[in-house]
Amino acid sequence: MTDYQQPQQQPYYPPQPPRPPYDPTQPVTTEPGTTIWPSGGHVPPPVAPTAPGPAHASPEPRRRARRGVGLMAAVAIAAAAVGGGTATLVQQLTADTTTSASPVSGTTVSASSKGTVAGVAEAVSPSTVEISASSTSGKSTGSGVIITGDGEIVTNNHVISGASSIKVQLSNGKTYDAEVVGTDPDKDLALIKLQGASGLKAATLGNSDNVKVGDQVVAIGSPEGLTGTVTSGIVSALDRDVTVAKDDGQEQQQQQYDPRQGWPFEFGGQQFNGDTGSSKTTYKAIQTDASLNPGNSGGALINMNGEIIGINSAMYSPSASSGSSAGSVGLGFAIPVNTLKADLDNLRSGDGN
């Protein structure tokens, strides 16, 4: 009898979808633990078939990965713009790593010292000098301001009046002989010229009509022979009538300017620092509480832009009558620079002598 054998059952295979004409996009792993899809998303989108490239071309997934990284950076920048603080974050993300980043606009702190006492002193000190004037009756010391590069210097008339020789020391210590060009005793101004000087730093003459009470000012001079001394204060008053001695050389023999006591002057009907004598002149002055001491005469009174607004000419020394060298008590006067500018032509021509 023949055994019956049942036919073997074949395994069931479900129908398969047609094979796509391209290889599916693979993720790019940049480093352990970090995976970036070329599109920047979680699921690779359909990619149109592309013509095969040259054999040496870089694999397509790697090139797309770089585009994906750029897209992610752009998304991060956009998100930062929505959240605020865009200027700093955009700069950090987009800066070239081979160069230092530029400062954010509006946050740079200026290194300029303009408008400070230190800045004014640095700018104008090279234009101020110490003047030593000698005569048969003694020696006087004052200050001056360089107004031209070839050595024209303005000072007070009482500093150099009657002098037989004048020596000038610059801020760098260099010394020159000087000669008188012109004087104006009525305004207590004088112009001298250095011999053989060139390339000097001239001061900038400002406009004293713009000066206001309360403006901050700087004074530079050589009190007690201390060249280049800087003090500061404010403009206390304007158009003060100040009366000073008007010496003419003959009087200078009897009344030599003593820098230890200060030049005598009159204000408000009172005399300060001694007797002004019988020959005197009165001018309108700028009053300041910047410390002026004997030897500041002829020096610069400067605004915070570094411009000369006055020539220091008189100061009150409370113990002058006793012969001591007391310092300033905040009562100083300066000839307005516009008075000097109006008188320069006469001084240069010598008409004021």
Q: Which amino acid would we find at residue 81?
A: A
Nearest by Cα to 318 from 307, 310, 326: 326
The neighbour count for residue 222, using CB atoms within 10 Å, is 28
113 is known as an active-site residue = no
The residue with tokens 């000190």 is 125
158 is known as an active-site residue = yes
The one catalytic residue in 158, 222, 236, 313 is 158
Q: Which amino acid would we find at residue 215?
A: D
Q: What are phi and psi of 188, to 5 degrees?
A: 55, 45
Kindly give the interhelix angle for 60-83 and 86-94, rounded to the nearest 10 degrees: 160
Q: Tell me how far apart the alpha carbons of residues 187 and 267 are, in angstroms, rounded to a whole number.
A: 16
If 0-12 CB within 10 Å is exposed, 13-18 middle and 19+ buried, where does residue 204 land? middle
291 is known as an active-site residue = no
- For the chain, the residue count is 353
Contacts of residue 18, Cβ cutoff 8 Å, sequence gap at least 6: none
Contact 219, 291 (CB under 8 A): yes
Q: Tell me how far apart the alpha carbons of residues 41 and 275 are, in angstroms, rounded to a whole number.
A: 97
Q: Judging by DSSP bridges, how do beta strands 165-169 and 128-135 pair with one another?
A: antiparallel
The one catalytic residue in 125, 143, 188, 232 is 188
Q: Judging by DSSP bridges, how do beta strands 216-221 and 204-205 pair with one another?
A: unpaired
Q: Where are the alpha helices (DSSP H) in 95-230?
A: 117-124, 157-160
The one catalytic residue in 297, 313, 317, 328 is 297
If 0-12 CB within 10 Å is exposed, 13-18 middle and 19+ buried, where does residue 90 land? middle
> Which of the residues are catalytic?
158, 188, 297
